[in-house]
Structure 1
Amino acid sequence: MNQSPAQAEHPYHHRPNPAESAGTISAPMLNPQPDDTFPPIDSLLFAADVFFRFCHNQPYSLFHEATFRQRLVAGELPSHLMWALLAAARRYSSLPNLQLNDSDDAQVYARKAWECMKLPWSGGVSDEEVVPILQSIILIVNVEHPSGLCASAYMKLGFAIRLVLHSKLHLEPEGTLDPTFREERKRTFWSIYLQDKLISLSRERFSILRDEECRIQLPCSEVAFREGRYEQTPTLEQFTGDCLDQESADSCCPLALIAVMASTLSRVSYYVLQENRYSQLGLPWSSTSPYASISSTLLQLEIYFGMNEDPKKALRERCYIDESIDQHLAGPFIYSKALFHLSHCLLHHPFLIQQRLQKLKQRAPPIFINTAWQTCRMHAQRLIELKDTKHHNVLVLTSLYGYCTMVAGTIHVLSMNDDNQSIREQGQEYYNSALDFLNDLSCYWKHAALMATRLERFRQQCENRRTDMNPCADKSGHSPGDVKALWQSVDYALLSAPTRPGSPTHGQAPGGIDLFTPQSKLFDFADFDTFAEGLGIFSNLPVLENKNLFPDLEISAENDDSLESVSAK
């Protein structure tokens, strides 16, 4: 049969055999890149090894591995996508034989990816052209936002979302598409959706994608994706109503569950961080309030997906294949649990509840605020405990874990002011664990180092103002500095910014500040054997030696008691 030109040029027309081992592709590049400064093929293949071991489904799923590797070897990938690949892989390993004049740094590669990208401002491009651009932007944003370049990441993501809507990637495509490309297209959209929800965990930034407009199916199972076959899956709409059916829950894979949890988290963040400014939605204990409806949704998700089950038990039931854990299932499942517990922490946070009541000129019934505080503490504990799944060889290193740990850590600091001695002791224990985890994450994410410093300062501030920081006290006991510090402790954008909130960054991190540990002290995941042997490789990650990494934050203000102005002892 003769092929049409369109068929011959389609990048997914000749799919590799999915059963073929991805690691067998080692032939020289057939069509070398014309840019002599571009890394050699062995460096790119090594970066692909790192990416699919440590980035795929963590939490973004962008590429069909066998197809991606074949196109990489054939030189069919756009330059911007290869630079973005290097940026993502560099987070977890040094890269061999780069032969570049620039420094070996993830931000450098992300910048190169953006600079060589030809953006389709005029529209009218095919899905085959749009999807690689979106994939690169997703990887770039995931480098920039944790590096403190929040405004730059926000702008780039905004363009990507508009490109998604213009290209109608939020709608189900024609059934004639190649199944592999169709699923990549779908997973790319849900990755953009997730970034939109996470980057709006702030008082100043709003989500753009509305759930009711996302008519595309959720991601299919990992097995179906690997085999390159189509699989019918539910839509997000089937999880956002009042009733969730068992059939939809059973067909929701761990990766799809991330989108479901992100939708709920977005409802929480809008209610507690953004709408809280106006508080027009009534009292939280009203049966018709968003507080009640979101609580109901979280309860359903808990029942159908075992969100409060012991992680070890849940992993064995949901993420084991042939008696061994599958990282591409386990990573998304634990990430989903983190989003679930984070939703509870924010929804039931006593400070955020009190802020709403302050605007309504109301006071909370003691039983309500005490129950909310108990629920908040419990889920903050579950959040911190998720880090222990590393002992079962689950990767818990994605950038959002820094924010989750910071939110949970500040809750545990507040519990150190509780009237109950056992609660205070528990708070101290979990605070120490949160700080240790942030220090571990600091080896890979710059904003985690910043959060570790801010968490220590928050503890110091609460210790100095113990009588004023009772978590269940009404707002009248909080100074303006206390209020500012508490707002900062739950705002993802402010927590990720490397300078004092409100000061300009000019699109770059402060000069002369290296927030990573020295390369010699950085755990390098290039040695994959230790991971495969199940030796608990994450139990002894290096801790940053220099805690005073943010001289730009050492700002004294006569009447400012915020996180930013409290000096470390």
Structure 2
Amino acid sequence: METLAPTVVVASLLSQVANYTFQRDITGDRKAPWDHTSEYQTICSQLAQFETLFDCYGDIQATIPNTPLRQSEPNVPITESTILTYVLYHLCYCLLQHPFLIRRRLERTQFKIPAGFLSRTIVSCFTHAQELTRTLENAARAQYKVSATFLSYASTVAGSIHCLFQHSLDCLTRIQSVEALQSSIMHISGKTRFWKTSGRMIAKLTQFAVDSIRYSDLIDPSLQSVPLEVTDIDQLYALCDYGTLSTTKALSSTDTAATNIESEDLISEREPSPKLDLDGYSGHIDGILPQIFGPTNTGTMIDNFSFALRDHGENEQNISGTNYAWRL
């Protein structure tokens, strides 16, 4: 039986990312995110350790279409647990480096942002959003179970990033973003018949796809600041917050029938959104994860993860003959 340790640890890190990203009081960590001792860099270092694990699967996007019944050497078989872990991993980066969320945090700290940092962060965010969407698309095509409503949330966050990058100055980036946004909308739309939450998410995302041109400056690394109206901030926070997406009133189902992202087919009428209390934004992921894994503590989880992988490595070897042995 495969170990669930990687999934548990990434889920715990996602909780930490949500707490950091939606944190209202930042007095606890006033260090700039480019400071190697900051919480941002600590989280990135923890996430980076998963790259070695994912390398065991080779080219994941090429391997996923080979369903477990057809998978063979030389790569380690990909399971639904692997898919979930991989999606959560990319979701962590999407939240941590979301052009809107990271700019909001930097504005509150009033740091002068190095152009190099912002440029690298924006490119990284684009890459992780693309990979998240491709993973869910390929997994669904290979008939893995990807029906969990939380995966709709992951698609919504990634989709909000695609919305911004469909206005990139780079032609290839625009094309990739338009295609990825269509895929995200398709993924969420498939669940709207069964989950009201998915209906809310698709309404928010399709509406934002129409409005996103107004926020295209968020992906311009040369801009230190991007002024936004309070209503704009409300809309962007609500699009990234799981609790808000799960509970706020959305457009009716008849308004969300269109899922083509071409502008003429998207929802063009918007419903006045209620005034949202920004203090209520916290990611609300803490309330979701304990239901699956129990109370989480990132430090403890990483210790357990290291132990579990060492134990796993003593009994199983990967195809190269080396053991799974992590030093975290």
Is contact 1:412-1:430 (8 Å) kept? yes
Partner Cα distance (2:141, 2:84) in 1: 16
Task: Give the secondary-structure state (helix, strand or coil) at the position aligned to 2:23.
Answer: helix
Map 1:33-112 onto structure 2 (within 5 A). Answer: none
Q: CA deviation at 1:353?
A: 1.8
Partner Cα distance (2:132, 2:199) in 1: 19
The count of aligned residue pairs is 261
Q: CA deviation at 1:437?
A: 1.2
- Is structure 2 residue 113 aligned with structure 1 residue 369? no
- Is structure 2 residue 13 aligned with structure 1 residue 268? no
- Is structure 2 residue 82 aligned with structure 1 residue 333? yes
Partner Cα distance (1:466, 1:347) in 2: 18
Map 1:106-505 onto structure 2 (within 5 A). Answer: 221=1, 253=3, 255-274=4-23, 278=27, 280-306=29-55, 309-311=58-60, 330-387=79-136, 388-463=138-213, 465=214, 468-470=217-219, 472=221, 473-499=223-249
Task: Give the secondary-structure state (helix, strand or coil) at the position aligned to 1:427.
Answer: helix
Alignment partner, residue 325 of structure 2: none
Partner Cα distance (2:258, 2:38) in 1: 46
Task: Give the secondary-structure state (helix, strand or coil) at the position aligned to 2:245.
Answer: helix
Partner Cα distance (1:323, 1:421) in 2: 38
**Matching residue's letter, 1:368:** F
Is contact 1:302-1:308 (8 Å) kept? no
Alignment partner, residue 554 of structure 1: 271
Q: CA deviation at 1:277?
A: 5.0
Which has more radius of gyration?
Answer: 1
Is contact 2:165-2:216 (8 Å) kept? no
Q: CA deviation at 1:391?
A: 2.3
Q: CA deviation at 1:555?
A: 2.5
CA RMSD, Structure 1 to Structure 2 (Å): 3.4
Task: Give the secondary-structure state (helix, strand or coil) at the position aligned to 1:441.
Answer: coil
Q: Please, what TM-score do these two structures have when normalized by structure 2?
A: 0.69
Partner Cα distance (1:307, 1:458) in 2: 37
Is contact 1:417-1:471 (8 Å) kept? no
Alignment partner, residue 284 of structure 2: none
Q: CA deviation at 1:495?
A: 1.0
Partner Cα distance (1:350, 1:367) in 2: 14
Note closer, same or farther for the CA distance 1:466–1:404 as it changes in structure 2 (3 Å cut). Answer: closer
Partner Cα distance (1:443, 1:313) in 2: 30
Note closer, same or farther for the CA distance 1:368–1:312 as it changes in structure 2 (3 Å cut). Answer: closer
Partner Cα distance (1:292, 1:468) in 2: 25
Note closer, same or farther for the CA distance 1:261–1:556 as it changes in structure 2 (3 Å cut). Answer: closer
Is contact 1:279-1:359 (8 Å) kept? no
Q: CA deviation at 1:470?
A: 4.3
Structure 2: 5+ residue stretches without partners: 260-269, 277-328
Residues 149-191 of structure 1: per-residue CA shift (max 9 Å, x gap): xxxxxxxxxxxxxxxxxxxxxxxxxxxxxxxxxxxxxxxxxxx
Partner Cα distance (1:484, 1:278) in 2: 23
Q: CA deviation at 1:438?
A: 1.2
Task: Give the secondary-structure state (helix, strand or coil) at the position aligned to 1:395.
Answer: coil
Note closer, same or farther for the CA distance 1:457–1:425 as it changes in structure 2 (3 Å cut). Answer: same
Note closer, same or farther for the CA distance 1:365–1:307 as it changes in structure 2 (3 Å cut). Answer: farther
Partner Cα distance (1:386, 1:452) in 2: 19
Partner Cα distance (1:306, 1:273) in 2: 31
**Matching residue's letter, 1:481:** T
Q: CA deviation at 1:361?
A: 1.3
Which structure carries more relative contact order (alpha carbon 8 Å, separation 6+)?
Answer: 2
Note closer, same or farther for the CA distance 1:299–1:480 as it changes in structure 2 (3 Å cut). Answer: same
**Matching residue's letter, 2:246:** S
Alignment partner, residue 41 of structure 1: none
Is contact 1:276-1:355 (8 Å) kept? no
